[in-house]
Structure 1
Amino acid sequence: MADTSSTAPLSFSEFTPLSTAAWQERIRRDLKGQDPATLRWHSPEGVVVEPFYHREALDALSTPATPQVRTAEANAWLNVPTYLVPAHDNGHAAIDRATEALQRGADGAHFDLADTAAFDVTYLAQRLPLATTYVGYSVRATPLPLIERLLTASGNTLRGFLRFDPVTDHLPDLQGQLTALRTVLQLTQHLSEFKALTLNGAYFGNRGGTATQQLAFALSAAAYYLDCLPSNELEVATVAAAVQVQVAINPSYFTEIAKLRALRRLWATLLFAQQLPAEMAPQLRIYASTATWSQTTLDPPTNLLRTTTEAMAAVVGGADAVSVTPFDSLFAAPNAFADRLARNIPTLLRAEAHLQQVADPAAGSYYLETLTDELARNAWALFQEVQAAGGMPRAVRLVINHLQVTTQAQFRRIATGEQVIVGTNRYQNPREQFSFNPKRLLRSADFDSTRAAYPSEVLQLATALHFQRREKKLKRAAVVLLGAHTNQHILESFLQTLPAAERPELRESHPEGTVSVLFSSSEEATLMYATPEQFSRLARLVHRVPADDPSFLPSPLLTSDLATLQEAVQFFGFQEFVVEGYSTEDVLARLQGKR
């Protein structure tokens, strides 16, 4: 209204500005002689996080802090659920789920296809208007036939993306795959709303890589494609314009925000190195999916809290599309309840938290700007290390070694309780009743073992089977493969259940290069170790598989009659390892919170 007075600018001029030195002096005084350095956090990314940040932090950045400038349309991030389509499946069930989701708050669909030949593109086009619907496709075999069928079904117009990354996914016949990918880029270069070169950066995040590693390794894959895909018919600018990066978002909220912001900065740096115009940098699209690495089968409702934090970090960090994994996806068949909860998390962030209305909420934060800058610098240094080793894919062994060191360090921190997984290694539910069959899950080839919680889970699932067997007095026995290095996890986890005064000296009994197993009958349970070859031979005996069958992969759970397994375990030379002063039964019961 005309007579309404204008609001005066907010001002705190009555307070004297304080410098960083003044704040530091106040911290030292409040600590009463304690070293302020004890308040610093040394993150897994190699970043030293200070207890507070002040205005001067912006002056120390290697690159001036600038907000991410995005158009209003680009700021409208998309809610894009993912649907797995198994081999030999025509995809009708997944397509129907996606169609319903689009009517109930989703903005698109992402189909992860194990078998592109079986996927019914005609049915997809009947259910979803492909020319206007945002649809993504992840494939692990040549994508050319699928893209040709999609272009025909859609009238040569597509919106969404293709994720086909033969370098990161370690696919065979790389040169043949690159030829097919080059043709796909040529066929789709006229589609401004279709990103045909989506990189699987989520691979590194879902295998425990730090934020620094994820950025560096994804950037190395991008550099490879920018070098190898251009041809006489395909310019490097066309390849760059087709790039999208899929990232996995873990629960470390501020780190994940900074990771996405650093990714955009590093992409601009890579384009500069390729002598491409700076105006192309904002064209990069980021597709963020909640991480499988952080998911658990124990106390699974906690996954809802993790994915909410992850989705919010993705949006604040500047993702263009977000995919939330259903909380029970590790053990349950697709169901409407879990789908609805996953779909509604981004919907709540948009409609109730209003996280669509600010382009770059993190801009100007002293802490987040500093963290973004440090992640970008560390990732660029690691990227250069990978490039010096030949770049991707030649440096894949270096990449895998980095990931293995990181994941083993995380497993150790989880075992000692230093790294907390709520409901798994702390605040467990001792009376938890599984809504799934542990026996069937352990036998399943689809059970995801590349997760932070896996060593804890497989031990607790195996011990649950033992106590169930003892209660029912089954006249059978089971051998459960707990995995390499799990004995250390058992030891560290067990020690956390004991008062310090009760912690006995423990004997080394698990040689290098062996795997942990649990032998369980209704009468006893014994923790043992064996070489992978010993376990494989035992599995072949139990399953009656010939020794010369190269296709056989033993499942983690082997069951048979008691006499057969007792004799086989003895024959193949499995050895018991001992926690002195405690029986195996004591250890298992304590780990399950029963004593």
Structure 2
Amino acid sequence: MSDLFKEFAPVSAKEWKQKIQADLKGADYNESLVWQSPEGIHVKPFYHPDDFENPFPPISGQPTTWNIAQHIFIDDEAVANKLALDAVERGAEAIILSAEKKFAIEKVFKNFPFEETPIYFNLTFFSEEFLLHLKSYLSKKNATVHYNIDIIGNLTRTGNWFHNLKEDHRVLEKFVSENPSEAIISIDTTGYQNAGATIMQQLAYALAHANEYLNHFENVSLSPSINSGQAKVEGATIQQSLQITFKLAVGSNYFFEIAKIRALRKGYAALASEYGFSETCHIMATPSKRNKTLYDYNTNMLRTTTECMSAILGGADIICNLPYDALYHKSNEFGERISRNQLLVLKEESYFDTVSNAADGTYYIESLTDDLAEKALELFKSIEKGGGFLKQLKEGKIQQKIKESAEKEQQLFNQEELKLVGTNYHTNPEDRMKNAFDLYPFVKIKPRKTIIAPIIEKRLAEQTEQERLKQENNG
């Protein structure tokens, strides 16, 4: 078989551009074909090896595979246990458990396959006693666990610490120092994306958020029991063993979202290396809520499919899909099965699990990755110069920047420049939703005293949907 590549002479980037300019027949190349993203990145019509002086370095921590996760909310322990076992039986490779209060641990994990199935927690309460009990139980089961404790994330979401700054840090410090090799800390960035932050902001805030933990734990010693037992090093610190898990929400800008995950790994590796911590992080990804809709809700399945694809190609370790009806229905068997099967189809039938790091070496994505990482690092440095993430949260600067970005995006949606099929584009006037709700699908305002302004998640379609629902009721 002949080598077809030898039949054609190589074409330089300059030659490609000359050909394009000739085809434009006098139109300006930059004005016609180069566009600027909300992050300020100029996207070219083509990318060429001539644009890159050096080979692309590997990204630290890129996984060779990814796991399908199923989310389960613990209300009734027996029901949660049944749902978890059923999800594993039907293809889930990891379980994410959410809870708002203490639960009977043994009931939730009855007959659970600990050795095969990693467990991820999303606890919206912070009890030292409960965490110690939970850790003791799961250690005896040799379970792989990500506790995902994020006291700063709770502050950004609710406007308050769980208890107070000093107590939250004391409990976290104790839990980490006594369990240095466990995945304890998480950085929840989903709220930034779902509230309307740009990709660059999401990355910068993720790094600044993480930096608060790295800075705090830089000189924290292992607990005395660990030093005298496992480590046997006087004054040993947790630097080499600390594991960080990032939670990401993935939006619809397909290639940018691929690059976002890769850029986060690059940025975190650079940050962690400055402290002497492990440069590898663990990434959990889930589709964004910001672009999901009530009307023509089946389009949510199309949105979540491409968002999961971005998460896979970007290099997430674990992906939990968002059911198409999650906005307005309580968790139900059909919605959960469809969302899980979307991932199973991608993995088992579309072969998204066959090649690891498929985006490596693609000129466009590599360029986006570098551009996003560089711009995020610049913003991160400005946050640190301004006193750090917590200080800027207290001053309201982070919240204001997200609000400004969200308003710009909302304006694009309102002007129909940003389109959501079935909501502000190709709408079906016969679509009715007023009797479909199990859950309230809009922003809930709960007046309460907070120490900072919380970061509020809001979907783009909310105002439009409320107006359509009002018309339904009036009709």
Q: TM-score range by the shorter chain?
A: 0.7 to 0.9
1:351 to 345, 348, 351: 348
- The amino acid across from 2:465 in the alignment is E
Q: CA deviation at 1:421?
A: 1.1
Q: What are the residue-to-residue correspondences of 1:527-538 with 2, within 5 Å?
A: none
Q: In the alignment, what sits opposite 2:105?
A: 121
Is 1:17 the counterpart of 2:25? The answer is no
Q: What is the SS of the residue equivalent to 1:245?
A: strand
Q: Which amino acid aligns with 1:428?
A: T
CA contact 2:240–2:276 (8 Å) conserved in 1: no
Does the Cα contact within 8 Å between 2:189 and 2:206 map onto a contact in 1? yes
| Post-superposition offset of 1:292 | 1.4
Distance (whole Å) between structure 1 residues aligned to residue 199 and residue 15 of structure 2: 33
Residue pairs, 1:286-305, within 5 angstroms: 286-305=283-302
Q: CA deviation at 1:167?
A: 1.3
Once the two structures are TM-superposed, the CA of residue 419 in structure 1 deviates from its matched residue by: 0.8
Inter-partner Cα distance in structure 2 for 1:380 and 1:444: 32
1:185 match: 176
CA contact (8 A) 1:259 1:375 kept: yes
Bigger mean CA deviation after superposition, 457-466 or 321-330: 457-466
Query: Do structure 1's residue 33 and structure 2's residue 26 form an aligned pair?
Result: yes
2:328–2:437 CA contact under 8 A, matched in 1: no
Are 1:167 and 2:155 matched, yes or no? Answer: no
Q: Which residue does 2:373 correspond to in 1?
A: 376
Shift of 1:458: 1.8
Please name the residue that 2:128 is paired with.
144
Q: 1:382-461 counterparts in 2 under 5 A? A: 382-396=379-393, 397-434=396-433, 436-437=435-436, 441=440, 445=444, 450-461=458-469
**1:591 match:** none
Structure 1: which 5+ runs fail to align? 1-7, 468-595
**8 A Cα contact 2:221 2:237, kept in partner:** no
Cα 1:440–1:237 shift into 2, 3 Å: closer
Per-residue CA distance 1:164-204 (angstroms, 9 max, x = gap): 2121321321221111111221343244xxx2111101121
| Bigger Rg over Cα | 1
Q: Which amino acid aligns with 1:401?
A: Q
Structure 1 residues 302 and 10, CA gap change in structure 2 (3 angstroms):
farther
Q: Which residue of 1 aligns with 2:452?
A: none
Residue 245 of structure 2: aligned partner: 244
Q: Which of residues 27, 39, 42 in structure 1 aligns to 2:36?
A: 42
Unaligned runs of 5+ in 2: 224-235, 447-455
Amino acid at match of 1:356: D
Specify the SS of the correspondent of 2:264. helix
Q: How many aligned positions are there?
A: 443
Q: Is the 8 A contact 2:434 2:469 kept in 1?
A: no
Quick one: distance in 2 between partners of 1:178 and 1:411?
37
Partner of 1:583: none
1:99 aligns with 2:100: no
- C-alpha contact (below 8 Å) 2:69/2:93 kept by paired residues: yes
User: Contact 2:220–2:238 (CA<8 Å) still a contact in 1?
Assistant: no
1:442 & 1:41 partners in 2: Cα distance? 34
**CA distance 1:126–1:360, change in 2 (3 Å):** same
Contact 1:331 1:436 in 2 (8 A): no
Q: 1:190 to 1:33 in 2, by over 3 A?
A: closer
Partner of 1:259: 260
Contact 1:43 1:49 in 2 (8 A): yes
Match of residue 318 from structure 1 = 315
> What is the identity, as a one-letter code, of the residue corresponding to 1:399?
I
Aligned residues of 2:195 and 2:402 also touching (Cα < 8 A) = yes
Is residue 96 of structure 2 the alignment partner of residue 110 of structure 1?
yes
- TM-score (structure 2 length as normaliser): 0.87
Change (3 A) 1:145 1:435: farther
CA deviations over 1:419-462 (Å, ceiling 9, x no partner): 11111111111110227446984799599961122122222222
Kindly state the Cα deviation for residue 274 of structure 1 after the two structures are TM-superposed: 1.2
Match of residue 212 from structure 2: 224
How far apart are residue 26 of structure 1 and its match? 0.8
CA distance in 1, matches of 2:439, 2:283: 36
Classify 1:365/1:99 alpha carbon distance in 2 versus 1 (closer, same or farther; 3 Å).
same
Give the 5 Å matches for 1:279-290: 280-281=278-279, 283-290=280-287
Secondary structure of the 2:389 match is: coil
CA distance in 2 between counterparts of 1:326 and 1:131 reads 27
Give the secondary structure class of the aligned counterpart of 1:80: strand
Q: Helix, strand or coil: the match of 1:394?
A: helix
Partner Cα distance (2:466, 2:154) in 1: 26
CA distance, structure 2, for counterparts of residue 272 and residue 373 of structure 1: 18
Q: How many percent identity over aligned positions?
A: 27
Find the aligned partners of 1:391 and 1:370 in 2 and give their Cα distance: 28
Partner residue, 1:574: none
